[in-house]
Amino acid sequence: MSDLFVLIPYDHREVLSKKYMLSWNPSTKLWSCGNERIYNMAGMNRFHIKRLDVHFVNKDAAKKLGCKWLPIYNKWCIAMEVYNNNPAMYDALAVKPSNQPTFNYDEVVDEDIL
């Protein structure tokens, strides 16, 4: 069975890691619990990882909102507890803002690049 990852607040890491028997995975930079029983405990629900669809132009906004890029999922992620506080705000990151300039690559000629 592969590890199950959770996002826990840095300031609560010592208490939660002991309480739920979590281990730090340095390669993923996440807390993990290799036991599904622990992962399904009610206290851990709020620390589960919510994967987000974030449009590329919104990546800086995602960072400011506390989202974290997780290469193991190839997605931006946030803890469920944080996501549940305002899901509409995080879901809006998937949409490209209308005020972003669009660029038509078909109009580019080689002379413009040089």
- Residue 13 shares a structural domain with residue 42: yes
pTM of the model: 0.70
Does the pLDDT at position 108 exceed 90? no
Report how many domains make up the chain: 2
- Residue 59 shares a structural domain with residue 86: yes
- Residue 34 shares a structural domain with residue 73: no
Give mean pLDDT, residues 92-104. 72
In tens, the pLDDT along 55-91 reads 998 999 999 998 999 998 899 999 999 999 989 999 9
Tell me the residue range of the domain where 84 lies: 51-98
- Residue 39 shares a structural domain with residue 69: no
Return the sign of the alpha-carbon dihedral for residues 6, 70, 55, 99.
positive
Residue 114 within a domain: no
Does the pLDDT at position 26 exceed 60? yes
Give mean pLDDT, residues 23-49. 79
- Residue 55 shares a structural domain with residue 84: yes
Q: Which residues contact 43 (CB under 8 A, 6 or more apart)?
A: 19, 20
Instruction: Output the average pLDDT for the chain.
Output: 81
- Residue 60 shares a structural domain with residue 22: no
- What per-residue string of b and e applies to 98-108 under the rule 16 or more CB within 10 Å gives b? eeeeeeeeeee
- Residue 38 shares a structural domain with residue 59: no
HEC letters along 22-81:
CEEECCCCEEEECCHHHHCCHHHHHHEEEEECCCHHHHHHHHHCCCEEECCCCEEEEEHH
